[in-house]
Structure 1
């Protein structure tokens, strides 16, 4: 399927978020997907992931959630991202990440959903949300903050999803009406087993239709092909899970196979 690509500007209560938009090239409306980036932001690899979803039949918005600190990319990234070799990357991103409070996430999420709803390229109705690394927490907060506007939510190698903090993302489980899927990395210190169990318990208590899977041997960032954590087998599993979720969420909308186009 031909894919059309463009840059977008999303007005929010706190400014304007730059974003990447990918959609099938037929010009018609398609199911909307809000994709939350990892901490390293919009870059060629993340663009390729959005393009793959567009080739599968979706209109995909990837906002720069760190827009308060400047347009993407915020950093000059190496060709192969290795945070062990470059600990300065997270040090430099720290202020922007800390500024993204739960209140700011909710304001932004409302703006992203409004933008998608107003676009002639989307089919209308509830959207699907997916997120990677810290973006998985943003996806969970969006599903809990806007239950009538999110039909499906997925997160992959998310961190700190179910801490003991009063504002931990998992505490929104009782507000979620979407179908939920999480693919966790078992080699991920940012989401230890007790947090996985706590998240599962919160979703189960709330009666949320959900599935969580632990990808054995995978590390935090296993879907990100431009990082040293990339795991091709785990990434392929992630695509099967995500596209399956989208096919169930948008039945009859022609979500295609593996998204290869």
Structure 2
């Protein structure tokens, strides 16, 4: 099936995921090379485990981690197009050390278990790109909404999660628009949304993620890569206008000097200083909204 995918198919599916061909290339570092992130100064002891979550479309593999004692607000992480892998497990652990019960998911469970890239494989390799595009196609917008509902329900069922408090959701690259859709699908529970170099937050489609903002009850952090802003300089203005009109608190910022994909520590365009700034702003958002 992968051999039958054309360049036009690739471009169309990338667009559906909110990722341009240029952005895709910026994320083409070898899988498995992960910078070690610093632990919080007051890091809590945490415990993590692999989990399987039943959804209407099958069992999703995921990673759940939380402080060893007490109950904590829940946070759902949608990874970028490279999927659930060591870098995102490390990011989940770090967030849990800061006092949150964190679920990071394999959004491509319909097609493959995670991790699906081997050391040395990269997105700029045509055969790897052709292998991944069907994963994106199998997910789809409706699938993300079904998944979001199941994943939030899973968090609320965990004894480590304080279900009396709101839930946060973060998304990276293609996870950005999915985070918006999660906030709309579970407006009763989602109180904070963080999008980091999110692709396709503003489109001309009738179901564009930014049009969902009035249906949500969350505070937002929108961290935009500088080269994404160069490509679509009006998106930030559109987003700010949508947040203002909906009276939703939002921080929308272009991170100077960054390239699409700068936050995960295994990205070849990882920017440690700006990634730490974005992380700090995320902690402020979660601390205020949850």
What is the TM-score with the length of structure 2 in the denominator? Answer: 0.81
Q: 1:159 aligns with which of 199, 205, 209?
A: 199
The CA distance in 1 between the partners of 2:136 and 2:230, in whole Å, is 15
| Equivalent pair of 1:224/1:230 in contact (CA under 8 Å) | yes
Written as runs of structure 1 = structure 2, the 5 A alignment for 1:42-53 is: 42-53=84-95
Q: Which runs of 5+ in 2 are unaligned?
A: 1-43
Query: Relative to 1, partners in 2 of residues 1:70 and 1:190: Cα closer, same or farther, differing over 3 Å?
Result: farther
Written as runs of structure 1 = structure 2, the 5 A alignment for 1:231-250 is: 231-250=271-290
| Equivalent pair of 1:83/1:89 in contact (CA under 8 Å) | yes
The CA distance in 2 between the partners of 1:172 and 1:120, in whole Å, is 31
State the partner residue of 2:143: 104
The CA distance in 2 between the partners of 1:149 and 1:49, in whole Å, is 22
State the partner residue of 2:155: 116
Write 1 or 2 for the structure with the bigger share of helix: 2
| Equivalent pair of 1:159/1:190 in contact (CA under 8 Å) | no
| Equivalent pair of 1:82/1:227 in contact (CA under 8 Å) | no
State the partner residue of 1:34: 76
State the partner residue of 1:173: 213
Q: Which runs of 5+ in 1 are unaligned?
A: 251-261
The CA distance in 2 between the partners of 1:130 and 1:61, in whole Å, is 10
91-100 or 58-67, larger mean C-alpha shift: 91-100
Write 1 or 2 for the structure with the bigger share of strand: 1
The CA distance in 2 between the partners of 1:97 and 1:189, in whole Å, is 24
- Count of aligned pairs: 246
State the partner residue of 1:255: none
Query: Relative to 1, partners in 2 of residues 1:153 and 1:99: Cα closer, same or farther, differing over 3 Å?
Result: same
What is the TM-score with the length of structure 1 in the denominator? Answer: 0.89
Provide the aligned C-alpha RMSD in A.
1.7
